[in-house]
Amino acid sequence: MRQQLSRHKRLIFIGAALLALATTLWETNRFLQEFKQEERAKMEILASAYQKLLDVKDDNPALLNLSSAILEKNHTIPVIIIDKKGNVVFHRNLPKDYPGFIGKELQNFKKTDKHFKLDLGDNDYQILYYGDSSLLSKLTYYPVILVAIFLLFAAIVYLYYHTGKVSDENRLWSGLAKETAHQIGTPLSSLMGWVELLKAENNPDIPVEEIEKDVQRLNVISQRFSKIGSIPKLEAQDVVEVTQHTINYIKSRTSKLVKITVKAPEKMDALLNKQLYSWVIENMVKNAVDAMEGKGEIAIEISDKGQQVHIDITDTGKGISAAKFQQVFQPGYTTKKRGWGLGLSLSKRIIEQYHKGKIFVKKSILDKGTTFRIVLQRS
């Protein structure tokens, strides 16, 4: 219920922001149109004044002075006047004053409807072209700037909440992991004591060695969970040995219908935390077994790439569509009827956040199989 309410609030916030943006853009556009109409009205007056200058007689100096004053008052709107043959006879308020630039501006003005025809009589005329004032030109870009500011603000808000959410999730994850390790640790200590007592009795009917293996396994799991949320210590480890040891453990607890092979050099060092890396390999192999529904082949290949080590894990499962290459690493994603969908998400966290490496789907073909690649740094 709380999640639905929070989502409802987000939708209201987004809707209000979009409404405000749309209203602002509409008002800005309306203002620009009014401003353009005002500039055209000014140019009509200017064109009329220029026409008067062309028509005025020497015996009417007052009209001549008024027309000249109107022309001189235009300090913002660019104007070009040409004669019947296309020659420039007057220009004003252009940013540059040389023939090439004036000609270029004239061509731009001709592409608009911003012009007035001035009658000189005797079938002669001139044409007054004008463009947008510097202020109007700047205002034209205002909606674009406004949208950019809105998008920037939206991005900042998103990052703020997203970062806070991720931080809360990390704290919750770490707290849960540490509490799990603590809860396992208490009965685990007792189990270790009982195993020692069973060893002392030396009863052949009790499989003490197998019980001890499982207790040790619980101890490893407890250590893994205790490391979540803290920065693990990375050491130069033989990644081949650690991988092979983990695979040997998995083989003994996996169906005989699943064939697991490891192709690797005799030794290769990499910076890793043994417990956490082993956890990743277990998760990846178990994920592959589930993808193959308990029957198929899993091939693990470890290769030297200079300053990096590549571990490719290939299965013969049902494959993954390209659209889901990133989605499979999201918490909660699973194709199984049972399961939390945390295996690949946890593996990604361990490799990328703790080991500063990479993990991704290298390739996948539906109904044929998938290859995951883990990249670690060399020691």
Residues of the chain with pLDDT under 50: 1-5
Strand, coil or helix: 58:
coil
CA 357/CA 271 separation, integer angstroms: 10
List, for residues 26-60, the tens digit of each pLDDT value: 877 787 788 778 877 877 777 777 777 666 655 55
For residue 132, report the phi and psi dihedrals to the nearest 5 degrees. Answer: -75, 145
Q: Would you list the DSSP string of 200-224? A: HHT-TTS-HHHHHHHHHHHHHHHHH
CA 129/CA 278 separation, integer angstroms: 78
What is the third-level CATH fold of 2-140?
A: Beta-Lactamase (3.30.450)
CA 239/CA 83 separation, integer angstroms: 85
For residue 371, report the phi and psi dihedrals to the nearest 5 degrees. Answer: -120, 120
CA 108/CA 102 separation, integer angstroms: 10
**Residue 334 contacts by C-beta under 8 Å, 6 or more apart in sequence?**
340, 341
Strand, coil or helix: 180:
helix
CA 252/CA 119 separation, integer angstroms: 102
List, for residues 129-170, the tens digit of each pLDDT value: 888 877 777 777 777 777 777 778 777 767 766 665 555 555
Enumerate the domain spans of the chain: 2-140, 233-377
Strand, coil or helix: 354:
helix
Angle at CA 246, nearest 5°, toward 235 and 181? 70
Angle at CA 297, nearest 5°, toward 296 and 299? 160
The pTM score is 0.50
pLDDT at 29: 78
Tell me the CATH class for 233-377. alpha beta
